[in-house]
A and B are shown apart, each in its own frame.
Chain A
Amino acid sequence: MTAKRYTWREILPILALALFGLVWMVPLFWTLLAAFVPTTQLLNGSPLDWLQNLHLGAFAEAWDVAPFPRFYLNTVIWVFGLLALQLVTVSLAGFALARLDFRGKDQIFFLFLTQLMVPATVLILPNYQTLVTLGWLDSYQGMMAPYIASAFGTFLMRQAFKQVPKELEEAARSDGASWLQVLWHVFLPVTRAPLLAFSIVSVTYHWNEFLWPLLITSSVETRPLTVGLALLVQSSEIGAQWDLLSAGTLIVAVPVIVLLALVQKQFTNSFLSSGIK
């Protein structure tokens, strides 16, 4: 293979993109620096002082001030617990809408559409009151409840199931398999890609979610990372502890960035699939 000669016309946009990307990263670099340099040095010292005073103290302190391990656990439980429930509801509902015939399909379809139109974020007030009635405040199920049914996931799976060849389904049915068995053995194995796409979107969205968990949770046992971080920011309203804040920010953000670096392509595709309506 002969090496292709690049023209300036091709290289310039790449350079522009690289430069643009670098500028885009400045706030993150700054946070990184602020986390490893003691705040008094950062504010009063020169860059040389910074390099001489790099430390991990802020991470230790942040880890100490806020129970981050517990916050991690909470986030994992609520995000992945929710995902498990969602995978069940969206597979079942998506299958029914794609492959089964029944009365009232249009009306039910419309009900799902309503959820696409009215995001749960807008309904925090009445949903909060519902949770009060149910006694689900400060609980994982309370955080999950408004999202357990997912119109986005349901439509995504409906789309995917529609493309499964009818013959596969008929073969299984004539062998006497129940619809649930057909779904499990025939449909789900061939729709792993959309399931994964949905999972990535769901996990990213809820991992990052803030306002709803903030309102619902009131104890260390349920608070997710985002809420813990915001409390850290608030508790340091004195504002002088930038190293602490930056360390806390990184503790929350780094897993997401690492994950992204590992599966960027998959991630990109998943977010594109969130475009399916």
Chain B
Amino acid sequence: MSMKAKLFRALLVLCSLLVMIGGASAQDAITLQFFYPVGVAGPLAQAIDSYVGEFNATHDHIQVEPVFTGGYSENMARATAAILSGQPPDVAILLGIDIYTLIQLEGIIPLDDYIASENGLDIDDFFDAFMANNIADGQVWSIPWQRSTPILYYNKDAFAEVGLNPETPPATWDELIEAGKQLVVRDGDNVTRWGVEVPTSFWIFANFAIQAGQHIGSLGDDPCAVYLDTPEAIEALAFLRTLQEEGIMPDGANAWGTAPADFIAGAAAMIYHSTGSLSTLLANSPFEVGTAFMPAGEAGYGANVGGGNYYIMKDIAPERQDAAWEFIRWMVRPEQIGQWGIDSGYVAPRNAAWEVDPLMSYAADTPQASTARYQLEYAVKEFPATYGGQEIQVITTQAIEAVNTGEQSPEEALAIAQERANEVLIQNGCEL
């Protein structure tokens, strides 16, 4: 045998060895790429990583690779880019409102078959309000995970200090103004403590519109519906401006992250914020923290749900989708999702989680944790569950900013926003 032939045979053996090794390990485990955002404080990323670590340790054939992709909109942008480039992650936590965009991109699969299968899930155990954004065309497309509503946080010490009863937080818009006026502390021209701080955000604003009597988004299955220029929406926005004009709330736009910092520092006596901030606020506030339903408007209480859900991607192999389902099922087990509720402050989205430990005893010790759960009775589908929702979010927030900074009247700002939203919807194929 010539030298060349020997070399060739050696190479051949080597190659087949490599193929065998490669093939074997590929059969051994499926590695899933898992995109997740964290809407609130940093350590939550660690919590997720630790759950995934536990999952990986107990599952030989599936390994999950968590990828923290930033805030919600960053995360959605990352997922969209990956879908468009044909290299999607396998499973991702994305906002409920992005459901239609994801369907339009042909990026996700419906989960009904999995839910009904042998390894299924009792989907009726999940709270109705938290399923509203997960169903389209009569199919379930995602499983609730980090779900929340805004609630009212208030500084009980400050209430006692000005002679308000710390156990009866304001229950209506009028009471909010009254309490706010009493809570403001001035030092000359400078306000050292504001009565209330409402972050300038589409997500918070939507609650006020519901409380005024008309949601700004669809309550049903309509990806083309945006109602920003209704009298109720205008009234809601005018109320936010009133809070500023009465000197209760800081002028200008109020950043999402500023409100909790101000609350902890004692610079704002009440704030509207996500339940997801509960654990951080409880841990860092040097005073007693009260939580309450958001005060009622003319139409009573009202809340706009929010938060992230598990989606399974479309352009991946069926066995990967199966593996992704197994992972999701494991994560939303009552004990697991209850633990997540404790670690984060998000509302565990299913009944069963509240009936077992660890969440059961935690809820008994920490009554603040249940506020959002009971507020769900008044909660509706999150806005803007439409095509182009990411853009409509920004358009809506810009309208609120325009009013909160005194640039425009609520009528003007919302009329502009409605027109811009319509344009986005039309660009996305809606017929208005």
Contact = CB atoms under 8 A, between A and B. Distances in A.
Contact between A and B in the complex (any CB pair below 8 Å): yes
Interface in B271-299: 277, 280, 284, 286
Given A240-B264, A241-B41, A235 B284 contact: no
A2 interface: no
B282 to A, nearest CB: 12
A30 to B, nearest CB: 15
B112 to A, nearest CB: 30
B265 interface: yes
Given A39-B284, A44-B286, A231-B68, A238 B277 contact: yes
B158 to A, nearest CB: 13
Interface residues of A, number: 27
A234 interface: yes
A20 to B, nearest CB: 29
B40 A220 contact: no
A67 to B, nearest CB: 10
A40 B68 contact: no
Contacts of B286: 40, 44
Given A218-B82, A231-B68, A239 B255 contact: yes
B68 A237 contact: no
A235 B85 contact: no
Interface stretch (B69-77, B329-337, B350-358, B374-382): B69-77
Contact of A232 (B42, B69, B260, B261): B42
Interface in B17-71: 35, 38-46, 65, 67-71
Secondary structure of the B side of the interface? mixed
Contact of A40 (B44, B260, B264): B264
Contacts of B41: 235-236, 238, 240-241
Interface string A38-71: 0110011000000000000000010011000000
A87 interface: no
Contacts of B39: 237
Nearest to A231: B70
Contacts of A79: none
Contacts of A242: 261
A238 B260 contact: yes
Contacts, number: 82
B2 interface: no
Contact of B260 (A215, A240, A244): A240
A159 B163 CA distance: 78
Given A44-B266, A240-B261, A244-B42, A137 B70 contact: no
Residue among B41, B44, B74, B255 facing the most chain A CB atoms (10 A cut-off)? B41
Nearest to B77: A215
B284 A40 contact: yes
B258 interface: yes
A64 B42 CA distance: 10
A131 to B, nearest CB: 9
A137 B85 contact: yes
B288 to A, nearest CB: 15
A132 interface: yes
Residue among A44, A135, A238, A240 facing the most chain B CB atoms (10 A cut-off)? A238
A41 to B, nearest CB: 10
A241 to B, nearest CB: 7
A163 interface: no
A219 interface: yes
A92 B82 CA distance: 37
B181 interface: no
A238 B40 contact: yes
Interface in A17-51: 39-40, 43-44
A239 B260 CA distance: 7
Contacts of A232: 42
B71 A219 contact: no
B231 interface: no
A90 to B, nearest CB: 31
Contacts of A64: 46
Given A235-B42, A240-B260, 20 more contacts: A40-B264, A61-B43, A64-B46, A65-B43, A137-B87, A218-B82, A219-B67, A231-B68, A235-B41, A235-B68, A236-B41, A236-B42, A238-B261, A238-B277, A239-B255, A239-B256, A239-B258, A241-B41, A242-B261, A244-B42
19 contacts: A43-B261, A65-B42, A65-B43, A132-B84, A218-B67, A219-B65, A231-B68, A231-B69, A231-B70, A235-B41, A236-B42, A237-B257, A238-B261, A238-B280, A239-B255, A239-B259, A240-B257, A240-B280, A244-B42
Q: What 4 A-B pairs have minimum CB-CB distances, sorted nearest first?
A: A239-B257, A43-B265, A132-B85, A239-B261
Interface of A: 39-40, 43-44, 61, 64-65, 132, 135, 137, 215, 218-220, 230-232, 234-242, 244
Interface of B: 35, 38-46, 65, 67-71, 74, 78, 81-82, 84-85, 87, 255-261, 264-266, 277, 280, 284, 286
